[in-house]
Structure 1
Amino acid sequence: MRVLIVTDTFPPDINGVARTLNTLGEGLERRGHAVKIVTTVEKAEAGGLPREVMHSMPLPGYPGLRLGFASARQILEIFDEFRPDALYVATETLMGVAAIRAAGKRGIPVVSGFHTNFQTYLEDYHLPGMEALAQGILRSIHNHTARTLTPSADTAGMLEKWGIQNVGVMGRGVDTDLFNPAHRSAALRQGWGADDSTPVAVYVGRIAAEKNLELAVRAFEVFSSAQPAARMVFVGDGPRLELLKEQFPQFHYAGARTGTDLAAHYASADVFLFPSITETFGNVVLEAMSSGLGVVAFDYAAPRLLIRSGENGWLAPFGDEAAYLDQTRVAAAGWNDDALRQAARQAAFDLGWERVIAQFEQELAAVISPPTP
């Protein structure tokens, strides 16, 4: 197969969508397929998947992400040069819409991805009351593709309620060799003011309004009331980072981390606080559990799939902040429970990327050569 992946975000961007698409693209290439990326960001270094870089502008209110622009003519020129058998359109922006329209002109099948709950971000970014309009736009975009893939059953059910057709669930995987308790670093913990007897809570992800970080702060207050020596570490970058630093200078801010450096930050902590209620999956939950951390989360998406509350992490009913804080108190008491942390790692161990890449390959093959009725 020759597969063109269209996405506004791709490495060196640091986010779950970018990492997922890079992993899927490289996985297809290892399986003998030709893959090319249409995106908004230049390569940070030599190597990697070939790409076409389109004009873009920063996402309003979120300068760390960019919106791509491409005309149908530009996309058709890429088609003529690359000759794709199928497209995977990962972001529902102007560039993604242009690619879907251009594919329609050439009869090239398109699979779309629903990776991010952008419609729920509107209120956080000062555009309240527009969620219904956004749902209608997303329904129109996805129903112009042969198949829509999303990473969790919760999100698939939501899309079907909106009237989006041919929705499939394609989960996520984790590199269990990279995200491994073996990367725990006493030197890193010392830099946080923690020794072996000091509990460390961590958050990894975008430092942004939609991540519900106010609850993470409140949860750590509960955690530290039970464990007064505890430390809180935020790993990531985003539009709320400077405000968070100003309001809570007592926390440690590690900034954006990648690779083994990121793996060491996970493994050197003890409990992962994950307060978000806007995820389509939550790759960081897999990474944290693979690193041997108990996770405190709401019961949906990846946490629902992976966490057995009290056995390998702690779950609260979706959106119930009081229950989330109660589970944080339990986590504070069990922060060094070796059996729970080993069970968390085992749950992640069963979700390697090869299974996901194989499904992605099958989904693309099915729209190229649909089964005979």
Structure 2
Amino acid sequence: MDISDLRIALFSGNYNYVRDGANQALNRLVGWLLENGARVRVYSPTTKTPAFEPAGDLVSLPSLPIPGRSEYRVTTILPPRIKKDLNRFAPNIVHVSSPDSAGHSAVRWAQRHKVPVLGSVHTRFETYPRYYNMAFLEPVLEAILRRLYRKCDAIVAPSDSMAQVLREQRMSYDVGIWSRGVDKHIFNPDMRDMDWRRSLGLQDDVPVIGFLGRLVMEKGLDVFSDTIDRLVRRQVPHQVLVVGEGPARSWFESRLPRAVFAGFQGGTDLGRAVASMDLFFNPSITETFGNVTLEAMASGVPVVAARATGSESLVEHNVTGQLVRPGATVEFADALQAYCGNPELRLAHGQAGLKRSEKYSWDRINRGLAETYIRLIRQRQAGSGGVPYRAIR
């Protein structure tokens, strides 16, 4: 069996209606699979105003807007038309990338039709409630996730650190890695543009601390702003550049009145924005990989990040950046202050990060996932796939 024999039904909670790192990776995967002869059919909620054109055939799933976060949608049960479409497509593997209702239904369909299932983990959903004063829900969400992933033949995580978390949470007996790559044509030190920086009112001789990501509270906006407050009180010369959009932008602007908000940037504009930073600050703990961290490293920018899944696998402490205990604003401020006052250290760690980023090739990474698909299909054909988790504890 080779890649051209694959028929993949991919279920996503957000394939292209709001742009994020997870669906960018999924679209890149689908494009790569199609180029290599596989057949792919994607099932996801859709909107009339998608963020970008999807790769591959996209089938719209019924969905409802999430209360309070209407830009996102949650799927309902799979209607008969979707099940008929699945039957006609006749996948030889199902890939579930979101633990929503459609994902659970897709796993049940696969079990009935004796089709292997791969689950991919893209974010730490169980940590989200703590950002909305509902941390008591975390054990409940973790139990729901465990119920889904234990029914999969295997699951994959974007980083070694996240894979270890999944093992500790007893999510599956078969946990692999589907990492992330970086586009070196977009993210590289040559994209640095001081004229663009000046056009935003940023000075050449004052270090720029950058934030990149969707402006939502679960990205650690409170920790970021509290840390910047400490730098202000310490009278550390610095400037802040925020790249991204989201529902928490007005809150973030009120907390960082001196920051420059560049809004959404894409393609080469995004590469220019990242390379034009002097250091990158990522306090988030919800990412399973941290695409933005890798993009900063590929741009030759040192990183200060929370010691959490994703960043912990990317950033080498005191070599390519600094890893700090999550939420520790004093320690974050110490790390940022060290970089602000030492351009030689910024350069050394930025160059080390650039070198480390070179091993993240999209072709190698996506080929590895295709090989995982093939392995699971062969295991199922041999009668060794789909072993319940409880059978091997």
For residue 26 of structure 2, what is the amino acid of its counterpart?
A: L
| Structure 2 counterpart of 1:289 | 297
| Structure 1 counterpart of 2:357 | 348
> 1:125 aligned to 105, 125, 132, which one?
132
Return closer, same or farther for 1:103/1:94 CA change in 2, 3 Å cut-off: same
- List per-residue Cα deviations over 1:287-338 (Å, max 9, x = no partner): 1111111110123333322322332212224554432222122121234633
| 3-state DSSP of counterpart to 1:263 | helix
| Structure 2 counterpart of 1:302 | 310
> 2:39 aligned to 34, 41, 45, which one?
34
| Structure 2 counterpart of 1:211 | 219
| Structure 2 counterpart of 1:73 | 80
| Structure 1 counterpart of 2:367 | 358
| Structure 2 counterpart of 1:248 | 256
1:277 aligns with 2:282: no
> 1:169 aligned to 177, 180, 190, which one?
177
Alignment check: 8 A CA contact 2:75 2:102 kept: yes
Tell me, in whole angstroms, the C-alpha distance in 2 between the residues paired with 1:31 and 1:353.
14
Tell me, in whole angstroms, the C-alpha distance in 2 between the residues paired with 1:69 and 1:328.
45
For residue 361 of structure 2, what is the amino acid of its counterpart?
A: G
| 3-state DSSP of counterpart to 2:353 | helix
Alignment check: 8 A CA contact 1:5 1:89 kept: yes
Tell me, in whole angstroms, the C-alpha distance in 1 between the residues paired with 2:348 and 2:51.
41
Tell me, in whole angstroms, the C-alpha distance in 2 between the residues paired with 1:72 and 1:102.
12
> 1:135 aligned to 142, 164, 168, which one?
142
For residue 175 of structure 1, what is the amino acid of its counterpart?
A: D
Q: How does 1:81-96 map to 2 (within 5 A)?
A: 81-96=88-103
1:257 aligns with 2:265: yes
| 3-state DSSP of counterpart to 2:136 | coil
1:232 aligns with 2:245: no
Larger mean Cα displacement after TM superposition, 360-369 or 48-57: 48-57
| 3-state DSSP of counterpart to 2:132 | coil
| 3-state DSSP of counterpart to 1:130 | helix
User: Which runs of 5 or more residues in structure 2 are unaligned?
Assistant: 1-5, 385-393
> 2:30 aligned to 5, 25, 29, which one?
25
| Structure 1 counterpart of 2:201 | 193
TM-score after normalising by structure 2: 0.88
Tell me, in whole angstroms, the C-alpha distance in 2 between the residues paired with 1:101 and 1:333.
56
CA RMSD of aligned residues (A): 2.2
Q: Post-superposition shift, 1:237?
A: 2.0
Identity %: 28
Alignment check: 8 A CA contact 2:13 2:44 kept: yes
Alignment check: 8 A CA contact 1:234 1:252 kept: yes
Alignment check: 8 A CA contact 2:30 2:55 kept: no
| Structure 1 counterpart of 2:389 | none
| 3-state DSSP of counterpart to 1:201 | strand
